[in-house]
A and B are shown apart, each in its own frame.
Chain A
Amino acid sequence: MSALFTKRLSKELVDLKINPPVGIEVTEADTFKSWKLTLDGVDGTLYAGERFTLEFRFSPNYPMESPEVVFTGNIPIHPHIYSNGHICLNVLYNQWSPVLSVRSVCLSIQSMLSSCTCKEPPPDNNHYVKTAKASPKQTQWSFHDDSV
């Protein structure tokens, strides 16, 4: 499986570099273990002018297993993003599919930010951050709110 894994990631990287989506840029991709990308808040949204960093960590089973995706550094304030960088987004966990990619995940997160109407942390932020494991993939997520 590992041949599939590196080959696919190389292709994703080339595609992201040659044909980058608006407001998304690969800043670190020295290994196939972890990449960093910057995500710019879209103009006309609550996050306009802000720049965030996403970290993707891949297992050798990728894309048969979702990547671990977290914000690092400056964490956006958003009802689905915890202050430790964990993101509550179903496609990263139980709704993952191998046709999804780094590009499509970034676009989902960008659109999640863009559709936000009120900058506030998740209601259970303090409790979650205290109890969460290092990897968000170990969290039992419940996805109840699709409106934000």
Chain B
Amino acid sequence: MSVERAESHKVKGNTYFSKKDYDSATREYSEAINLNPRNVVYYTNRALCYLRLKKYDNVISDCKTAISIDANSVKGHYMLGQALTEKAEFDLAISHLQTAYDLAIKDKVTFSGEIIQALLSAKKRKWELEEQRLRKNESEFLKYIKGLINTEREKQLQKVNQSKNSFGSTISKLVNLHSTEIQDKLDQINKSYDEKLSQIEQVFAQSEENRGPKEVPDYFLDKISFNIMYDPVITPSGITYERTHLKEHFKKIGHFDPLSRLECREADLYPNLALKEAIEDYLNKNGWAADY
């Protein structure tokens, strides 16, 4: 009885959801949960409302409940990953999104492409945060080194000035004669330290540039979506594609390799593990490329 009533609240919730009235939808799903707390769908539906409302703590708690009821809930892992990304818990987010993707491929879920997007964007945001920290550390370090160089410069300048003063006090009349020589010396010191400063600035600028966006090599990009690949698969023609987009192509267009046009089916595909490793390695060094 209560199971049926729960279902009717879910149906109402879905109607509100399709009208984008997420607050009312949330209320209906909550009613459904009260009546039947063991149905995963009520939690994942409510989590999706919370996700739209940007209430990420609520998303996390509903998804955790969903996963505790059904550890294989694709939506549970997927939305948990998205909410954790928003909370800047990137490692945990990435691990849940990876689980979601693996389950989605096994279950032939239609939104595996979206999961990959969420995964890549979590990876990129993780990199951005680390990059920000690194940049701050580096700029502090650069300031410190420049400070050292300038202190050293002051010391050298002082030495020359002191020799001038002691010189000047003893034989004051000759000061003018030597002043140009001393000025030359001071200029030389300044020039040499200015050079040192500009060199060190160049080194730091170079290191920053090396980490920043460049062009992603074509062989890492899927020929269908033009995105960097996450789960590359190789066809009998030896051509590599992103699994989810190639499967979509089989479904919507036909069972052939999009490039060679030779017949090809899902069962003919092998994961391209070497390329996957190469891409992972590349992304570790070029985090910006994750969501390229």
Q: Which residues of A contact B (CB under 8 A)?
A: 1, 3-4, 7-8, 11-12, 61, 63-65, 96-99
Q: Which residue of B lies closest to A101 (CB)?
A: B226
Residue-wise, chain B 126-159 has the 8 Å CB interface mask toward A (1 for contact) of: 0000000000000000000000000000000000
Can you pick out 18 interface pairs between chain A and chain B where the beta carbons lie within 8 Å of each other? Answer: A3-B113, A3-B114, A3-B117, A4-B245, A7-B225, A7-B226, A7-B227, A12-B226, A63-B224, A64-B248, A64-B249, A64-B252, A64-B253, A97-B253, A97-B256, A97-B259, A97-B261, A99-B258
Q: B259 — which chain A residues lie within 8 A by C-beta?
A: 97, 99
Q: B113 — which chain A residues lie within 8 A by C-beta?
A: 1, 3-4
A11-B253 in contact (CB<8A): no
Cβ of A35 to closest chain B Cβ, rounded Å: 16
Q: Which residue of B lies closest to A11 (CB)?
A: B226
A4-B258 in contact (CB<8A): no
Q: A12 — which chain B residues lie within 8 A by C-beta?
A: 226
Residue-wise, chain B 216-233 has the 8 Å CB interface mask toward A (1 for contact) of: 000000011111000000
Bound: A97/B248 CA distance, A:
12
Q: A7 — which chain B residues lie within 8 A by C-beta?
A: 225-227
Q: Which residue of B lies closest to A5 (CB)?
A: B225
B252-A4 in contact (CB<8A): no
Supposing A3-B114, A3-B117 touch, asked if A96 and B224 sit within 8 A by C-beta, the answer is: no
Bound: A99/B260 CA distance, A:
10
Residue-wise, chain B 190-227 has the 8 Å CB interface mask toward A (1 for contact) of: 00000000000000000000000000000000011111
A98-B226 in contact (CB<8A): no
Cβ of A32 to closest chain B Cβ, rounded Å: 14
Cβ of A16 to closest chain B Cβ, rounded Å: 13
Supposing A4-B245, A7-B227 touch, asked if A98 and B117 sit within 8 A by C-beta, the answer is: no
Bound: A11/B224 CA distance, A:
12
Total number of residue pairs linking A and B with CB closer than 8 Å: 40
Bound: A64/B249 CA distance, A:
6
Supposing A1-B113, A98-B258, A99-B259 touch, asked if A8 and B226 sit within 8 A by C-beta, the answer is: yes
Cβ of A142 to closest chain B Cβ, rounded Å: 19
Q: A97 — which chain B residues lie within 8 A by C-beta?
A: 249, 253, 256, 258-259, 261
Interchain residue pairs A-B with the least CB separation, the first 10: A97-B258, A99-B258, A64-B252, A98-B224, A99-B223, A11-B226, A99-B259, A8-B226, A98-B249, A4-B225
Q: Which residue of A lies closest to B248 (CB)?
A: A64
Q: A98 — which chain B residues lie within 8 A by C-beta?
A: 223-224, 245, 249, 253, 258
Q: Which residue of B lies closest to A3 (CB)?
A: B117
Cβ of B262 to closest chain A Cβ, rounded Å: 12
Q: B252 — which chain A residues lie within 8 A by C-beta?
A: 61, 64-65
Q: Which residue of B lies closest to A4 (CB)?
A: B225
Q: A63-B224, A64-B249, A99-B223 are in contact. List 19 more A-B contacts (CB 8 A).
A: A3-B113, A3-B114, A3-B117, A4-B225, A8-B227, A11-B226, A12-B226, A64-B248, A97-B253, A97-B256, A97-B258, A97-B259, A98-B223, A98-B224, A98-B245, A98-B249, A99-B224, A99-B258, A99-B259
Bound: A142/B263 CA distance, A:
22
Q: B258 — which chain A residues lie within 8 A by C-beta?
A: 97-99
Cβ of B105 to closest chain A Cβ, rounded Å: 17
Q: B249 — which chain A residues lie within 8 A by C-beta?
A: 64, 97-98
Cβ of B147 to closest chain A Cβ, rounded Å: 42
Q: A4 — which chain B residues lie within 8 A by C-beta?
A: 113, 225, 245
Residue-wise, chain B 17-36 has the 8 Å CB interface mask toward A (1 for contact) of: 00000000000000000000
